[in-house]
Chains A and B, each alone.
Chain A
Amino acid sequence: MDTQKATEFGMNRTGTKYNLDEAIKTAEGAKKLTSPPKGDGLTVFCDKRMEYIRESDAVGTVPTPTSLKGMLSSLMEKMKKGDHSFIDKLGERIAFERTGTRLYEALIAKYEGSADKANFPDLSVIKKFHHEELSHFRLCCEAMEEIGGDPTAVTPSADVAGVAAAGWVQALGDPRINFKQSLEVILQAELVDNDCWDVLIGMAEDLGLNTLVDKFEVAKIEEDIHLSTIRAWVKEMNLAPGTSIKSSEINRPSQVIN
């Protein structure tokens, strides 16, 4: 086994079947020789987590508007009652669309950097989506200004969205992650993007922010196209022969059987 390992370079070594004899030793040793702390792991995990959850502070608070000029009375009323959820969610959209713009820039680099672009979708469409993410970001900034909020502040929901998006940013930035894989990551982002617009529009409607609703609806139509397009591309690229995984990325059969 060791000689094979030393000479065979470029095969996937993560699984137990890569080296079954040694894997058996690991598995049997663990079963025979482990003396674990007594108790139920799931319960302990939950208890420990609850301990901290109960005494936790929030990630932060919603920045309160500095100017109430021009603010709709419905929004003002909500805020007087301590409900800042619209500003919170609008702040989230600002952050999300801004990161989304950057994700598309990384995707475009993946496209341009690919040697073989057969079966790739139309780059001009990707560039259009990129531009739309940017315009959505700017639209949300203007909306925040209009209602007296601070478009440069990080609201709690914006922070949470940033934490959740960190994996997308990491994946899009990795040069080893190819165009198709990157596109699949973008699909995740667009799925979230789409649902979040729905929620935001609903909130604006509740508040009677009619001009904003009209503008947001336009953005939502564009987001619908983003989602359906990327979704279709991902399907096509996975089903089109030869595009999903290059043969050089597959272990040779003899290695798999071993």
Chain B
Amino acid sequence: MSLDLLKDKGTPIEKQKFTWRDIVQKPISKLNDDAFTRIRIILMNGIEHEANRFSHFFARVNKEMQLPLAKIRRIEQHQQTMINWLLGADHSPLETTIGYEQVAIEVTAAVAQKEPDSYLAQNYRYGLLEDFDHMYRYSALMDRLEGKDANNILQNYTDVITGRPTIIEHRDPEDDLRNHYDRKNAAFITKLHALTIMSGEQQTHNYYMNIGPLFSDPIARQLYAEIAHIEEQHVTQYESIIDPHETLMEKWLMHEATEIYNYYSCVAYETDPRIKAIWERFLDYELGQFQVVKELFKKVENRDPEEVISAKLPDPIEYKSQRDFIRDVLKEEVGFRSVGKDFVKTPEEESRISREYRDQLNSQGSPSESVATGYIYKPGTELNNLDLVVKH
């Protein structure tokens, strides 16, 4: 399947219609569907969520664009709802959380390996090891609170091991900001990656902020408070790599392109035929939306859309287990710290300002340490004493 962003018309936006019956479909099976199907659903919810949030921001600062933004935003709303509602209600909020961190780990790892800008690739690897540690902390919580095995969600694709410990991920905002790509010279894939990962982190932040208070146990409430804080840092970090000099029209065009690229990637890897049909339908919808925005862009900015995007899409995001890559990064870079916009290789080189910031925050105890005290992941939970994973 090869697409041409400038030529493929997709579905005209007037024909992008929904009914409630259509929006609320059968959910996926937590037990039977491939974990990567859930990963794609979660990520696409995040992509649509960002499309929606960005569009609202744009509308607040630009009177002329309010109507076209509102028209397309309404479709994004329907798309996001249909996708997010695909998650079955038998997922506890904690199980869905495991899914969210699996997205952060597997998708960021895939992106890190394909990112041509070495500084940004380093940035992805850096963030990756933090979400990797979240997986370990949440798995401990799930085991000890609900008596459930995180691997029932992860389906053997993703490790549950300590990463850069969450307790030391807290740092001063000065050490969270990064250099941004240059909108004039950055590769198309670089821009697509940045917006994709930022969107994923933003929805994770948003999700934890919403579900944290649903938990009754104080340990869970504390852990969500702590990790939501890191996700806020991650959004800060990943949004700072996007060139802030892009015009809002340019950003809108990039948002539609990112949606196209992500649906295109989902179509390439989806194994559930019913879900694949949704990705295909929405890929066509996004192409239709892109055409509208492209024309607006030409009219308003009086320049060629190809200054911002390329007609040809890069290779799709790879949806497969990145275990080996992640273990390598873990081995080499777990001790890395960020100082200002740069990365240093040892904890000793970290800034005083971040150490002080974190010491104060952790001064009445650390939820992420408490929850995982003595915790080593084991198939069937830590209560299981059978050795279940040996070759017979």
Contacts and interface: CB of A to CB of B under 8 A. Distances in A.
A123 to B, nearest CB: 26
B375 interface: yes
Interface in A27-42: 27-31, 33-41
Interface residues of A, number: 45
A35 B156 CA distance: 20
B374 A16 contact: no
Interface stretch (A7-15, A100-108, A222-230): A7-15
Contact of A20 (B218, B376, B389): B389
A33 B331 CA distance: 9
Contact of B389 (A5, A23, A36, A37): A23
Nearest to A29: B159
A36 B162 contact: yes
Chain A interface SS verdict (over half): helix
B138 interface: no
A170 interface: yes
Contacts of B26: 176
A77 interface: no
Nearest to B369: A37
B61 interface: no
A19 B152 CA distance: 12
B327 A33 contact: yes
A12 B90 CA distance: 15
B158 to A, nearest CB: 8
B161 to A, nearest CB: 5
Contacts of B136: 34
A49 interface: yes
A18 B90 CA distance: 21
A51 B88 CA distance: 35
A24 B372 contact: no
Contacts of A29: 159, 161, 323, 327
B129 to A, nearest CB: 12
Contacts of B330: 33
A58 to B, nearest CB: 14
B378 A176 contact: no
A27 B389 contact: yes
Interface in B126-161: 136, 140, 144, 151-152, 154-161
A256 to B, nearest CB: 14
Given A6-B271, A12-B32, A22-B321, A31 B376 contact: yes
Given A12-B31, A39-B373, A24 B389 contact: yes
A210 interface: no
Interface in B28-83: 29-35
Nearest to A32: B161
A28 B88 CA distance: 31
B151 A13 contact: no
B373 A40 contact: yes
A41 B368 CA distance: 12
Interface string B332-350: 0000000000000000000
Given A16-B151, A45-B144, A170-B89, A52 B156 contact: no
**Nearest 9 interchain pairs by C-beta:** A22-B156, A52-B218, A30-B377, A14-B152, A44-B373, A37-B369, A39-B373, A41-B373, A41-B374
